[in-house]
Structure 1
Amino acid sequence: MLLISDPEVNQVLAMRDCIETMERAFAEEARGIAVNKTRTRYKVPPDLDKPGYMANIIPGAVPSSGVAALRYDSTIVQERVVAGIKSRFIFCKEEEQ
């Protein structure tokens, strides 16, 4: 298994290569070869006492490229009262290297 971040992807993939790969993947999906599942998204609602949580899970596979992948991202959501108005704040943290 290889875990990569968005900045790492941007360093190794050119947009032209991404577009060509996506065209091939969608063509293979249309032939029933590749897998492109609908994103699963779930939420745990926040309240003023504790944060909530959101996550996205996106699976797919393109056998001709020898690739199967799972994209996962998660976010912490906190509600706070600011100037008398209930506001929602989203926190994302990237690991420092």
Structure 2
Amino acid sequence: MTTETPAHINPERVPTLARGYRLQHDKVRNLWLIQAPERALVLEGAAPEIMKLVDGSRTANTIIETLVAQYDAPHDLIAQDVYTLFADLTQKGALRA
């Protein structure tokens, strides 16, 4: 099974957080968040590990390959998680992918 890239996600593009958004760890609640003015998105599951790799220099493909190697997980499973997260955050305006 091959994971298809959502039409609006370019796997060769370098994803970045939208202006005014930042990744932040809430030490009190032990949560990872994407913080913006008057808004916070809680990251759950694999999302924090994916977003830690969104650094303005890695492409979506590079992020996927890094996670595959780091977790010794199937490429299609990792790609599906990454593309789903990127599509969701893009739709919410938090990510430019």
More relative contact order in 1 or in 2 (CA 8 Å, sep 6+)? 2
TM over 0.5, shorter chain: no
TM range (shorter): under 0.3
Higher strand share: 1
Q: What is the TM-score when the length of structure 2 is the normalising length?
A: 0.25
Q: What is the TM-score when the length of structure 1 is the normalising length?
A: 0.25
Higher helix share: 2
